[in-house]
Amino acid sequence: MADWSPSTYLKFEDERTRPARDLLAQVPLTDPKTVIDMGCGPGNSTELLAKRYPQASLTGLDSSPNMLAEARKRLPAASFATADATTWTPEPGTDLVFANAIYQWVPEHLSQLPRVLAALPQGGVLAVQMPDNMAEPSHVLMRETAADGPWASQLADAARLPLPPVRTYYDALKPFASKLDIWHTAYNHVLESPEAIVEWVKSTGLRPFIDPLSPEHREAFLAAYLARIAQAYPRTTDNKVLLRFPRLFIVAVR
């Protein structure tokens, strides 16, 4: 895929940051010395961590040069570095690994997350949030649109896999955790229009579908997808639309 677009991602900054706030509220640490924001993106989650733990050594990690550049502009006093979530493990003494909406992009994250947790010291915390919306119309219609057009063969493997059941995460992480909390929250984001839903997913879940396409096919794909979205998300009484967005949360204490 092409590099991430911070400006597109941040069009819905308040909505995207809310799950990070909800995740951080459940982290049972009062004074961590070393904090890592894995998949820091444009720094909105890193900013939350900096405000809650001002005395901590805080580092934001991401694989996107564009996102890291935006994060450095946002938080010039913080440290940021390039890292690959598929292989990264924390350095000894890391107290908190905070990972907001990154590990759903790691196909083998069920193996990677236990490695990250096992590397933490006793009492260290791994806090993870991942979208769990592959069964929502927003994503079902991506797959339907991909299968219905001249791009079908090109996009046959574009969709990411759905998240496994909660018990699978519990069984994978519990051998390394003294305490493990796993829950779902389904947000209902009030957006202006079906076009806003398409704009939302263009910066995240829709990227594997549209990034490989030629400009002509990309335009046609988006038009076909928007038509489906407009049918699936009817207007509310005040002419808005509601985007239902389930997310999975995990807080594991080593």
Structural domain boundaries in the chain? 6-253
Weakly modelled stretches of the chain, pLDDT under 70: 1-11
* Nearest Cα to Cα of residue 136 among 239, 242, 17, 227: 242
Provide the pLDDT for residue 77: 87
Provide the pLDDT for residue 6: 56
Q: How far apart are CA 137 and CA 246, in angstroms?
A: 12
Provide the pLDDT for residue 9: 55
Provide the pLDDT for residue 1: 52
Provide the pLDDT for residue 142: 97
Provide the pLDDT for residue 231: 98
* Nearest Cα to Cα of residue 162 among 132, 129, 203: 132
Provide the pLDDT for residue 127: 98
| DSSP sequence for the chain | -PPP-HHHHGGGHHHHHHHHHHHHTT---SS-SEEEEET-TTTHHHHHHHHH-TTSEEEEEES-HHHHHHHHHH-TTSEEEE--TTT--PPTT--EEEEES-GGG-TTHHHHHHHHHHTSPTT-EEEEEEE--TTSHHHHHHHHHHHSSTTTTTTTT-SPPPPPPHHHHHHHHGGG-SEEEEEEEEEEEEES-HHHHHHHHHTTTTHHHHTTS-HHHHHHHHHHHHHHHHHHS---TTS-EEEEEEEEEEEEE-
Q: What is the pLDDT of residues 166-207, one digit of tens each?
A: 999 999 999 999 999 999 999 999 999 999 999 999 988 999
Provide the pLDDT for residue 244: 97
Q: What is the CA radius of gyration of the chain?
A: 19
Query: Of 3.30.750.24, 3.40.50.150, 1.10.10.10, 1.10.760.10, which CATH number belongs to 6-253?
Result: 3.40.50.150
pTM, entire model: 0.93
In this structure, which amino acid lies at residue 1?
M
Q: What is the pLDDT of residues 123-132, one digit of tens each?
A: 999 999 999 9
Q: How far apart are CA 77 and CA 73, in angstroms?
A: 9
